[in-house]
Amino acid sequence: MPVAAQVIRHAAVRPGRIAVSGPHGEITYGDLAHRARATAAALPSDPPTAGPRVVGICLADPVEQVIAVLAADLAGFVPLLYEPALRDGVPAELRVETLPSGSGDAPPFAPAPGDLAWACFSSGSTGRPRAVVRTRASWTGSFGPLNAITGIGADDTVLVPGPLVSSLYGFAAVHALAAGATVLAPGRWAPGPLPGLLRRATAVHLVPHLLPELLDALPDGGPLRVAVVGGAALPAGVRERAEDAGVRVVAYYGATELSFVAVDADGGGLRPFPEVEIEVRPPRGEVWARSPWLAEGYLGAVAGPLKAEDKWMSVGDLAHPYTPGEPLRLRGRGDGAIQTGGATVVPEDVEAVLRRAAGVGDVVVVGSPHPGLGAVVTAVVETGGGPLPSRAALERVARGGLAAAQRPRRWYAVAALPRTPTGKPARAELAARLAGGDPELRRLP
């Protein structure tokens, strides 16, 4: 996360400005710069392995995470934040699991735009985690366009209400620090502290399904003015509700591998992010992007959804036919498609229709094995602890908006869907729970 130089510049001008406020305390820009320099001096001077100079960071406190990330950047390493569950994927000699203490200063290092300067584990909602690596320029170069779109600057207080190990929240924190803003980093989503945080926050980054809950907690007259929302489509009506509360919504589409691809800053639909070219290629309608913000690939050359072709990249997301100048209309991730009886069903197409049904908080569609059809479409409805929706009512909605092959054959309900740290539905986990007969998943008769 290459922002150490910007943080040091802010520390020289406004050393007493709060840089990061975490669950266990806060740190000023002056102290953050000092701690980052001292920690960088304690890191090894030589790379322990061939290839990119990666240092894995597994720390619980967001303030300590930021210190370690900046220290790695100062020392010329590629910081890779990871959770304890991914520990085995990081060699022991690369791990930072307690914050090193040092009393000196960082060794000299001259950063360059082409440096490999950031890595992040990413698996989306399916598949095994893999570490995406990108250059310094592909990261910091997008800060200016995002500032222009969102208006985020040095006087803002930016709420980052999720784990910094995720690319969405990690980028949000680093972007705010590069701007000289204060970062509110509770480390995880928790509704209890939200009202207090929202009495301070002027901007927030989050995923779509959390925005309604955040608006529920918004105090009257609070300073929040912009919500930057990345991931799936916004729930119906939530943009209008936010605007009624005085909060502008900037929604964007992207991926860890692609960074920003398209942005909707006014409700008029997704348009290419600055300096991004978009193609939707037949026959499947895959989204391809070309821009300065693309990643370099996966660490260790592991397999993943990223495909590259003549400076264009795709992660397999699908969209309706696209003409430059018109909004990009996404359909979902191609690698989650369900093959049923010779038909290909994109889960997100089905989910978009089923969310219209009464009593449905959210819904995930997966394929369940079937001896004759290969798979059948299975819907798992999130009820939020409320009453079970009627299967007959759900099927009426499905018949009204879906082709026969798209309509679920099996229906389940659960109080809360399993989710990834970034808030995306954890499709692979849900499919495994279905296959294992999890009693919390209640079959709708």
Q: Would you state the pLDDT for residue 203?
A: 98
Q: Would you state the pLDDT for residue 32?
A: 97
Considering only 33-42, 352-361, 422-431, which range has the smallest mean pLDDT?
422-431
Q: CA 376 to CA 408: how far, in whole Å?
A: 7
Residue 156 confidence (pLDDT) above 80 = yes
In tens, the pLDDT along 163-174 reads: 998 888 999 999
In tens, the pLDDT along 365-410 reads: 998 888 767 788 999 999 887 888 899 999 999 998 887 888 999 9
**What residues contact residue 227 under an 8 Å CB cut-off, 6+ apart?**
203, 204, 205, 206, 211, 214, 242, 247, 248, 249, 250
Q: How confident is the model at residue 125 (pLDDT cuts 50, 70, 90)?
A: very low
Q: Where are the domains of the chain?
A: 4-319, 337-443
In tens, the pLDDT along 133-149 reads: 999 999 899 999 999 99
In tens, the pLDDT along 210-232 reads: 899 999 999 998 999 999 998 76
Q: Would you state the pLDDT for residue 128?
A: 54
Average pLDDT of the segment spanning 405-422: 89
Average pLDDT of the segment spanning 78-89: 80
User: Which is higher by pLDDT, 237 or 290?
Assistant: 290
CATH of 337-443, one of 3.90.1300.10, 3.30.300.30, 3.40.309.10, 3.10.180.10: 3.30.300.30
Statement: the pTM of the whole predicted model exceeds 0.85: no
Residue 274 confidence (pLDDT) above 60 = yes
CA separation, residue 204 to residues 91, 150, 178, 181, 225 (Å): 34, 10, 16, 12, 9
Residue 96 confidence (pLDDT) above 60 = yes
Q: Would you state the pLDDT for residue 397?
A: 93
Residue 266 confidence (pLDDT) above 90 = yes
Share of the chain above pLDDT 90, in %: 58
Considering only 88-97, 261-270, 348-357, 362-371, which range has the smallest mean pLDDT?
88-97
Q: CA 346 to CA 340: how far, in whole Å?
A: 11
Q: Would you state the pLDDT for residue 255?
A: 87
Considering only 18-22, 144-148, 301-305, which range has the smallest mean pLDDT?
301-305
Mean per-residue pLDDT of the chain: 88
Q: Would you state the pLDDT for residue 384?
A: 85
Superfamily of 4-319 according to CATH: ANL, N-terminal domain (3.40.50.12780)
Q: Would you state the pLDDT for residue 299?
A: 85
Considering only 65-69, 97-101, 292-296, which range has the smallest mean pLDDT?
97-101
